Copies of this chain bind each other. A is one copy, B any other.
Amino acid sequence: MSFDYKIADISLHEAGRHQIRLAEHEMPGLMALREEYAEEQPLKGARIAGSLHMTVQTAVLIETLVALGAEVRWASCNIFSTQDEAAAAVVVGPHGTPENPQGVPVFAWKNETLEEYWWTAAQIFAWPGVDEDPAKGANMILDDGGDATLLVHKGVEFEAAGAVPSAAAEDPEEYRVILETLRKSLSENPKRWTGIASQLRGVTEETTTGVNRLYQLARDGGLLFPAINVNDSVTKSKFDNKYGIRHSLPDGIMRATDVLIGGKVAVICGYGDVGKGAAEALRGQGARVIVTEIDPINALQAAMDGYQVATLDDVVNQGDIFITTTGGKDIISAEHMQQMKNKAIVGNVGHFDNEIDMAGLAAIEGIQKIEIKPQVHEWVFPNTDGKSIIVLSEGRLLNLGNATGHPSFVMSSSFANQVIAQIELFAKSHKSYDGDDAYATEVYVLPKVLDEKVARLHLEALGAKLTELTKEQADYLGVDVAGPYKPAHYRY
């Protein structure tokens, strides 16, 4: 093989290529960027280390970065999420063959171990020759969840300390693996990460978790390079969360259970953007939706949108379907689950699997767990004459586990933000640019006018036609004809 990569099975590339072709049609934002920047090649010279679910949609993202001039190495940011055929197709490339791959090095396959996962994370920085000359390594990170960024920061930290510490007793298993990965690295090259970090112009990050880590690093003075928070672009957060979930929640429930949603009582825990999309989707299927909330403003929104707002305790025995959307923890407890109706369906589209107390459920003495099919389990309570509930995806994100996650069109919006942020930061990071508008080693959100640009790129595909302000109208409103049109605090 002509370059270093590892995927499950490269022979899958043709199936992946068909899917990529169809996905391109649903990702008008990325395709418009390819067209707009075909000549200019704004990412020429960029060497991007990418860590993001290696799906069909990500394949379109990767090939867009390449089309804009970048060199790319890629890993997934989740041990389960790789679609092998997509990975294969990206490796082979649109014009290559399995024997002569001409695509991008991808280090990802479905069902990695933790050790494999952190090995792949390290591989996206292992550009040929980088150990000898850091300038041959990555100069940009595109991150989802912050693992790639974490690896660099921890690597630099431990290299400065001269040693990797031992894991403490209370450290999670995964942290142990990270330490081991870096310990091995340190033994191979004690200045590797310091060198890599020196060349990095910045990172673009698209998750709440990753962004929180970045803000914390910045606050603590530990941030090593500029960062753009893509997560809080309107075209990322509102769209991804609300419209993505509106699609993928019913999709997941239907695929998992084939249960008629119409006429059922659905309890949605949380009425943030995810909860709003979830509630709208299930109401659109004829369910009666009850919302639980802790935030009085969101609760008032739910009431004004016509939903009953109640506490879970009060309605736990009425619901047929329970969905967490909060980002919090212990939203649905084991006691709650015991009080539910027979065959109630429980799932999570919020964040981590601790929104539902799966550990508490499993700990009930005598409880029986039956796998109906993969990612769909019936939990039969003891001493109840067979009363049971159905838990989807073991409490993890059901829209990923029971369906296929966000549709391409939604990802086009998120990924167009990523690409634009990469262009911005590659050009104007203070590490390589000294203009007044250089990005310092801080965390930025994308300028609103670029957020608007992402929206603009998607309108035509929907047949939506935008009205243009006249100069006179723009002056009256005190805005530029080309935008941005709203003050920073505008809530959409």
A288 to B309, CA, bound (A): 10
Complex contact A486–B295 (CB within 8 A): yes
In chain A, positions 345-403 with a C-beta closer than 8 Å to chain B are: 370, 372, 378, 390, 403
A449 shortest CB reach to chain B, Å = 10
Q: Which chain B positions have C-beta within 8 A of A243?
A: 260, 262-263, 286, 304
Complex contact A468–B294 (CB within 8 A): yes
Q: Which chain B positions have C-beta within 8 A of A463?
A: 265, 308-309, 318
Known A-B contacts A260-B247, A328-B476, A407-B260; the reply to A297 vs B343 at CB < 8 A is no
A299 shortest CB reach to chain B, Å = 6
Is A473 an interface position by the 8 A CB rule? yes
A269, closest chain B residue (CB): B467
A349 shortest CB reach to chain B, Å = 15
Q: Which chain B positions have C-beta within 8 A of A265?
A: 462-463
Complex contact B26–A260 (CB within 8 A): yes
Copies of this chain held together in the complex: 4
Known A-B contacts A285-B284, A328-B477; the reply to A247 vs B254 at CB < 8 A is yes
In chain A, positions 70-111 with a C-beta closer than 8 Å to chain B are: none
Complex contact A25–B459 (CB within 8 A): no
Known A-B contacts A259-B407, A260-B247, A473-B328; the reply to A459 vs B295 at CB < 8 A is no
A77 shortest CB reach to chain B, Å = 20
Q: Given A294-B485, A296-B459, A297-B492, output 4 extra A-B contacts at Cβ < 8 Å.
A: A247-B285, A260-B410, A263-B306, A328-B469
Complex contact A466–B299 (CB within 8 A): yes
Contact bitstring A452-492, B, C-beta under 8 A = 1, else 0: 11011011001111111110110011000001011001011
Q: Which of B295, B312, B476 contacts A485 (CB 8 A)?
A: B295
Is A298 an interface position by the 8 A CB rule? yes
A213 shortest CB reach to chain B, Å = 13
Is A234 an interface position by the 8 A CB rule? yes
Known A-B contacts A294-B466, A466-B293, A476-B328; the reply to A407 vs B258 at CB < 8 A is yes
In chain A, positions 278-335 with a C-beta closer than 8 Å to chain B are: 280-281, 283-289, 292-312, 314, 318, 327-330
Complex contact B491–A459 (CB within 8 A): no
In chain A, positions 161-204 with a C-beta closer than 8 Å to chain B are: none
A287 to B303, CA, bound (A): 8
Interface size on A, residues (CB 8 A): 104
Q: Which chain B positions have C-beta within 8 A of A370?
A: 18
Offer 6 A-B interface pairs, CB within 8 angstroms, sorted by A.
A243-B263, A246-B286, A250-B250, A250-B285, A297-B455, A309-B466
Complex contact B296–A285 (CB within 8 A): no
A250 to B252, CA, bound (A): 12
A42 shortest CB reach to chain B, Å = 21
Q: Which chain B positions have C-beta within 8 A of A261?
A: 247
Known A-B contacts A247-B260, A247-B262; the reply to A235 vs B467 at CB < 8 A is no
Complex contact B473–A330 (CB within 8 A): yes
Is A255 an interface position by the 8 A CB rule? yes
Q: Which of B238, B281, B308 contacts A491 (CB 8 A)?
A: B238
Complex contact B492–A309 (CB within 8 A): no
Complex contact A408–B25 (CB within 8 A): no
In chain A, positions 94-135 with a C-beta closer than 8 Å to chain B are: none
A22 to B492, CA, bound (A): 34
Complex contact B259–A26 (CB within 8 A): yes
Is A232 an interface position by the 8 A CB rule? yes
